[in-house]
Amino acid sequence: MSDLGAIRDDAQAATGAAGDLRALDEVRVRFLGKKGAVKALLKQTGKLPPEERKGFGMQVNALRGEVQAFLDARKLELEQAAQDAVLEAGWLDPTLPTERQTGDLHPITKVLMEVVDHFHGLGYEVASGPEIEDAFHNFDALNIPANHPARDVWDTFYLTSGEIPRTHTSSVQIRTMENRQPPLRIIAPGKCFRNETIDATHLAAFNQCEGLFIDKDVTVGHLKATLEGLVERLMGYKVPTRFRPAFYPFVEPGLDLDIECIFCKGSGCSICKDSGWIEVIPCGMVHPNVLRACGHDPDEWNGFAFGMGFDRMVMLRYGIDDLRRLYDGNLDLVRKL
């Protein structure tokens, strides 16, 4: 019994005297290590008469707990002292973040890189154009004359200068065809602007990715194969698709590519409005008037164009149910992906 008390007092004195963490660890080894004082006591237990063993073992365990508590308390004191010394020395900035977080690419950037890679593989190049356009490139050359009611469909913003924050990336088609001779294969990703009421599926500033293929004897079959390949690449599986006729002034015929709703797999849900399909890519064969406006003979050249709602594609790819989440600055979403 006196051994126990003496060891306890020794341990208390030794931890109190330890001047740094290394010295403290030596104290720990001396008392709680394999060859330490407490272990030695436990070994004695076997030599005791059976009726005393249990009580003695409990006392040794209690002693072990006490010694550990001395060590823990002293460790805190030493750490605090070290921190205070650093602060006093004045070279630590305590306002710096304690944990470094690595960055990641935004889901839109990730999908964009994949789209670019996909089309590079098909021989396309990436083209770009100004975000602030004139009416000719945004409308007139796309077969949408000033008095045409279709112009209203685009909910255009107008600057006081009369210029237009482009309503679609189709203006890049025009700029490319004006300046270059077919054959042409381009994609043009970029921001577009429309006076939309912002909700889960509409934004006033959004991303589109335009595609244009101009060559000889191009058919709807080429268009279909190209877009089905793109959708399969982006969604990661052979998702069922369908093409529906649609009207866009710059294509004839105009089409909408739908994919089977990824949320309900075609059985109907609130996101696909119970149709089982989600519209993803408006497209069609380039209208002869558009080729003419850019100085090309529609009897010699033809082709197809498409304008993918890029944010929506990202939404479908990652199963995000609200477009606004892509821009709300909540990094949890990005980390999760």
Residue numbers of the site for Zn ion (CB under 5 A)? 261, 263-264, 269, 272
Catalytic residue, from 11, 67, 141, 251: name it.
251
CA-based torsion, 286, 292, 294, 297: positive or negative: positive
Catalytic residue, from 175, 185, 194, 312: name it.
194
Q: Is 168 a catalytic residue?
A: yes
CB of 202 to Zn ion, least distance (A): 18
CB of 274 to Zn ion, least distance (A): 7
Catalytic residue, from 60, 115, 137, 154: name it.
154
Q: How far apart are alpha carbons 226 and 313 in whole angstroms?
A: 16
Q: Return the closest-CA partner of residue 287 out of 209, 207, 212.
A: 212
Catalytic residue, from 14, 18, 305, 314: name it.
305
Read off the DSSP letter of residue 202: B
Taking the least distance from each CB to Zn ion, the nearer of 19 and 319 is: 319
DSSP bridge partners of 304 = 213, 285
Q: How far apart are alpha carbons 172 and 178 in whole angstroms?
A: 10
Q: Is 74 a catalytic residue?
A: no
Q: Is 154 a catalytic residue?
A: yes
Q: Is 218 a catalytic residue?
A: no
Taking the least distance from each CB to Zn ion, the nearer of 133 and 260 is: 260
CB of 236 to Zn ion, least distance (A): 18
E strand residue ranges, the chain: 125-126, 132-133, 164-165, 184-193, 205-215, 241-246, 251-260, 277-286, 302-309
Taking the least distance from each CB to Zn ion, the nearer of 18 and 261 is: 261
Place of tokens 């999908």: 111
CB of 258 to Zn ion, least distance (A): 11
Residue with smallest beta-carbon separation from Zn ion: 261
Taking the least distance from each CB to Zn ion, the nearer of 258 and 311 is: 258
Q: How far apart are alpha carbons 75 and 103 in whole angstroms?
A: 35
Q: Is 135 a catalytic residue?
A: no
Catalytic residue, from 151, 168, 287, 312: name it.
168
Half-sphere exposure in the Cβ direction for 140 (13 Å, CA): 10
Taking the least distance from each CB to Zn ion, the nearer of 263 and 318 is: 263
Catalytic residue set: 154, 168, 194, 208, 251, 305
